[in-house]
Chain A
Amino acid sequence: MAGHAAVMEAPTGFIRKYIFSIDHKVIGIQYLLLALFAVFLGMVLSAFMRLRLAWPEEKWPLLQQIFPQGFAGGPMTPEFYLAMMTMHGTIMVFFVLTTAPLSGFGNYFLPIQVGARDMAFPILNMLSFWITFVAMAVMVMALFATGGAPIAGWTSYAPLSALGQVAGPGLGAGQTLWIVSIAIFCVASLLTSLNFLTTTLNLRARGMSLLRMPLTVWAWFTTAMLALLAFPVLLAGGILLLLDRVGGTSFFIPGGLVVSDQLIPHQGGSPLLWQHLFWFFGHPEVYIAILPGMGVTSHILSTFARKPVFAYKAMVGAIFAIGFISYIVWGHHMFMSGMSPFSSMAFSITTLAVGVPSAIKTFNWLATLWGGQIRFTSSMLYALGFVSLFVSGGVTGMLLAQPAVDVALHDTYFVVAHFHIIMGVAAIFGIFAGLHFWFPKMFGRMMDERLGKIHFWITIAGVYAIFMPMHYLGVAGALRRYAQLTEFDFLRPMQPLHQFITVAAFVTIAAQLIFVFNFFYSMFKGKRAGANPWEATTLEWIIPSPPPHDNFGPIEPVVNHGPYEYSVPGAAKDHIMQTAPAEEARR
């Protein structure tokens, strides 16, 4: 080719380079920083929740000075608790678990791993970040809204969420801002996923056939497909909910409601309709959060076990199967909702069916380790932690998938344990694994391994100490979304366990400062990283760390190998780069 014809010029001004950048790498880091802010906010909110759950009647003079309303009279008020709960769930699900693994890492590494110089539509990409930013800003506004932050939970079930301030504090302006923020977020996610799909399908390097793509790319691709088709349905629901609140319509509000002795002038809507629309999005959303983590884990296990991913094609098939089945399981959130019992039966079977591809993934991860030469970097520790958490959170799905068992477990702490372990903590471990793995590529410096390991140990022990006991609470009937569990005789004996969980949570939360320190310290003071510090094979490792603006400079990568050619017998080195000459694999 003609010299540097393909090289793009890098922008020079600060604003075009770092703020309104159209470089997918800068946008990826912007997303990650947004998620880092969000995860800290969400974590602080959860600390407040745990505080009240453990010591509901205790007075906190210091906190009362900071939040005179939230701690009116000394103890935390129940509405403050519910606001913390709602915002914790919302911020974590949307602005952390959707933003970091998909929009963050996906933006940075998907184009590089397929051998493209940027996303298919860079300006659209920049727009999606800034729209997400606006959504985040509106959500933070909801937190400080007049009348309080919303208290309807991240699921915002109608009619509670549709009736306005009359139904409770925070359900006025706060709830409206919540819906607006989510609607904006939907639009941003659509644009992102459209970009991901187009890039993967159309901008792959020469030789990068679909079955030579790293499993991370497959995971992002499938996730983008889920997001593209699931978020519009939430948007539809959000628009209808907003109209119910401000336009006087009755999509979700039935007739003849009397709230606080006031007759509500609405007619004939259906509360279950909101649940259906919400969960039609909500269940794929769970996989939007976890699929990228699965991809990252496969990628890292293979790299540090120095072995090819076991059954690559089955892994790709499983990702697709999970993605597809996730669209036909949403009713399992509604077994106790008054939906037809026959629908429950169908949803139960489809839900258990999603366990099959999930089990395949677990088996294949274990088989990937078998016969390996495992290198215990902190990134690998997180990936191994992911596998353990995925198993722990996954097996409880067998219980919750059955409507009969849900009679006992629905809306108890068993559910809280289940989804926190599998879509919360496991996904976060996926993020940590990815961050420690790709940090040298993104910033040109290594993260501190010792701090990384200390952080791993405290975190894994901490999360198990927090969430495992919740299973026992759930079996004993402890209900979620209770501002305190001391008002019922059957709940009171479990209070010591709640206090144990709270202590574990505080320790774990404090340990996250180690990570933050490591992250920012290493960014400036870390050991310099070479192009390929982990001796990995995929395309991001053939270019300098950090990569130039156009990723590959004058090189046109040509892919000759699959993504996980480690320990190939007879090869000179124990890993073969994807771009290595084709002969290298032969003896």
Chain B
Amino acid sequence: MPAATIPATGDLLRPGAGGPGAGDGSFGGDGDGGRRPSPRARQTHRLGIWLGLASVTMLFLGLTSAFIVREKLGGEWAEFAMPPLLVVNTLVLLASSAALERSKRALAGIVPSGARPAVSGVEVPPAYNTWLLAAVALGLLFLVGQAVAWQQLSARGIYLSTNPHSSFFYTLTGMHGLHLLGGLVALGYLTAWRGRLPLLALRRRTEATAIYWHFMDGLWVYLLLLLFVWK
């Protein structure tokens, strides 16, 4: 369905918008159960993912405030230099995001064919596949890179409990890694189901995953600045 029919957010305050069953419902299998697909479904997915990210933000804000308080207390706060590998990892993650963006855009141009476009399968364009796999590979590479960075640090004798700075380093990168792992599961889902999902569903889900994935990028850059640049 063309983007033009999607109601803007301002619409929420007006009566008469939407209707029952407007959302396509289930996370894992819309298009089944005879539910009507609707222009709202896309918005529902986006809203859901942004609300989820709001709570992710609060989680990291909580950890950030702990970081700031703990740093102010001083004491044994012994800051170690950033492992250079993290720069490489950052570039890998940014590249992964870019790849996912390309993959998402590969779906944008396609107009679904057939009388009931929303529920019919679609030939996934090769560009989508290529870039999606690239994003998955780069995402995995980032996590491997993070693991190597941990390895390097512990080889230097810097462990979780060594000092407050290292405690926060491992905690924050660990939490970020866990969230990224969640993103990889979503990417894995897209990879596995891309041929079987209706175009609109695939597009919605790719879009939602991309929002999450880009957010994780921004979060990573923020954490890097907090851990090694912010004073």
Q: CA–CA, A146 to B23, complex, Å?
A: 48
Q: Is B10 an interface residue (CB 8 A)?
A: no
Q: Is B51 an interface residue (CB 8 A)?
A: yes
Query: B47 to A116, Cβ gap below 8 A?
Result: no
Q: B196 — which chain A residues lie within 8 A by C-beta?
A: none
Query: B58 to A6, Cβ gap below 8 A?
Result: no
- A211 CB, min distance to chain B CBs, angstroms: 8
Q: Is B109 an interface residue (CB 8 A)?
A: no
- Which residue of B14, B19, B44, B75 is within 8 Å of A120 (Cβ)? B44
Q: Is A5 an interface residue (CB 8 A)?
A: yes
Q: Is A8 an interface residue (CB 8 A)?
A: yes
- Which residue of B34, B161, B175 is within 8 Å of A7 (Cβ)? B34
Query: A209 to B13, Cβ gap below 8 A?
Result: yes
Q: Closest residue of chain B to A274, judged by CB?
A: B66
Query: A270 to B23, Cβ gap below 8 A?
Result: no
Q: Closest residue of chain A to B19, judged by CB?
A: A206
Q: CA–CA, A119 to B48, complex, Å?
A: 11
Query: A233 to B58, Cβ gap below 8 A?
Result: yes
Q: Is B36 an interface residue (CB 8 A)?
A: yes
- A276 CB, min distance to chain B CBs, angstroms: 8
For window 51-91 of B, CB contacts with A under 8 Å fall at 51-52, 54-63, 65-66, 69-70, 73-77
Query: B73 to A270, Cβ gap below 8 A?
Result: yes
| CB contact under 8 A between A233 and B70, given known A8-B33, A203-B23 | no
For window 102-148 of B, CB contacts with A under 8 Å fall at none
Q: Closest residue of chain B to A124, judged by CB?
A: B27
| CB contact under 8 A between A249 and B34, given known A115-B20, A190-B52, A232-B55 | no
Q: Is A559 an interface residue (CB 8 A)?
A: yes
Query: A198 to B44, Cβ gap below 8 A?
Result: yes
Q: Is B183 an interface residue (CB 8 A)?
A: no
- Which residue of B14, B26, B36 is within 8 Å of A121 (Cβ)? B26
Query: B160 to A248, Cβ gap below 8 A?
Result: yes
Q: Is B154 an interface residue (CB 8 A)?
A: no
Give 1 or 0 for each of A460-480: 1 = CB within 8 Å of chain B CB.
Answer: 000000000000000000000
Q: Closest residue of chain B to A234, judged by CB?
A: B62
Query: B28 to A117, Cβ gap below 8 A?
Result: no
For window 31-81 of A, CB contacts with B under 8 Å fall at none
Query: A8 to B35, Cβ gap below 8 A?
Result: yes
Give 1 or 0 for each of A210-238: 1 = CB within 8 Å of chain B CB.
Answer: 10100000000000000011111101110
Q: Is B25 an interface residue (CB 8 A)?
A: yes
Q: Is A381 an interface residue (CB 8 A)?
A: no
Q: Is A551 an interface residue (CB 8 A)?
A: yes
Query: A9 to B33, Cβ gap below 8 A?
Result: yes
- A190 CB, min distance to chain B CBs, angstroms: 5
Q: B70 — which chain A residues lie within 8 A by C-beta?
A: 251, 269-270, 273
- Which residue of B22, B57, B69 is within 8 Å of A273 (Cβ)? B69
Q: CA–CA, A213 to B200, complex, Å?
A: 31
Determine the interface band of chain A, counting residues with CB < 8 A from chain B.
35 or more
Give the A-B contact count at a CB cut-off of 8 A: 185
Q: A118 — which chain B residues lie within 8 A by C-beta?
A: 25
Query: B51 to A203, Cβ gap below 8 A?
Result: no
Query: B175 to A239, Cβ gap below 8 A?
Result: yes
Query: B20 to A557, Cβ gap below 8 A?
Result: yes
Q: Is B167 an interface residue (CB 8 A)?
A: yes
| CB contact under 8 A between A233 and B59, given known A249-B160, A270-B70 | yes
Q: B33 — which chain A residues lie within 8 A by C-beta?
A: 8-9
Q: Closest residue of chain A to B24, judged by CB?
A: A120
Query: B47 to A201, Cβ gap below 8 A?
Result: yes
Q: Is B171 an interface residue (CB 8 A)?
A: yes
- Which residue of A202, A210, A229, A247 is within 8 Å of B43 (Cβ)? A202
Q: A4 — which chain B residues lie within 8 A by C-beta?
A: 34
Q: Is B17 an interface residue (CB 8 A)?
A: yes
Q: Is B164 an interface residue (CB 8 A)?
A: yes
Query: A229 to B54, Cβ gap below 8 A?
Result: yes
Q: B60 — which chain A residues lie within 8 A by C-beta?
A: 236
Q: A496 — which chain B residues lie within 8 A by C-beta?
A: none
Q: Closest residue of chain A to B175, judged by CB?
A: A239
Q: Is B188 an interface residue (CB 8 A)?
A: no
- Which residue of B19, B48, B171 is within 8 Å of A556 (Cβ)? B19
Q: Closest residue of chain B to A6, judged by CB?
A: B21
Q: A235 — which chain B residues lie within 8 A by C-beta?
A: 59, 62
Query: A251 to B167, Cβ gap below 8 A?
Result: yes
Query: B20 to A233, Cβ gap below 8 A?
Result: no
- Which residue of A122, A190, A205 is within 8 Å of B18 (Cβ)? A205
Q: CA–CA, A230 to B65, complex, Å?
A: 14
Q: CA–CA, A109 to B1, complex, Å?
A: 31
Interface centre among B23, B28, B52 (most CB of A within 10 A): B23
Q: Closest residue of chain B to A224, judged by CB?
A: B51
Q: Is B16 an interface residue (CB 8 A)?
A: yes
- Which residue of B36, B54, B66 is within 8 Å of A251 (Cβ)? B66
For window 189-210 of A, CB contacts with B under 8 Å fall at 190, 193-195, 197-199, 201-210
Q: Is B12 an interface residue (CB 8 A)?
A: yes
Q: A197 — which chain B residues lie within 8 A by C-beta?
A: 47, 51
For window 271-311 of A, CB contacts with B under 8 Å fall at 273, 276-277, 280
Q: B20 — which chain A residues lie within 8 A by C-beta?
A: 6, 115-117, 203, 205, 551-552, 556-557
A-B contact pairs, 18 of them (CB 8 A): A117-B20, A120-B47, A121-B48, A123-B27, A202-B18, A202-B22, A202-B44, A203-B40, A208-B15, A228-B58, A229-B58, A233-B61, A233-B62, A247-B167, A249-B160, A267-B164, A269-B70, A276-B65
Beyond A194-B55, A270-B70: 17 further Cβ-contacts under 8 Å? A8-B21, A9-B33, A120-B48, A198-B47, A198-B48, A202-B22, A202-B23, A205-B19, A228-B51, A229-B58, A233-B59, A249-B160, A268-B75, A268-B77, A273-B69, A273-B70, A559-B15
Closest 8 CB pairs of A and B: A236-B62, A248-B161, A268-B75, A209-B15, A232-B59, A232-B58, A233-B62, A249-B167
A-binding residues in B (CB < 8 A):
12-23, 25-29, 33-36, 40, 43-44, 47-48, 51-52, 54-63, 65-66, 69-70, 73-77, 160-161, 163-164, 167, 171, 175
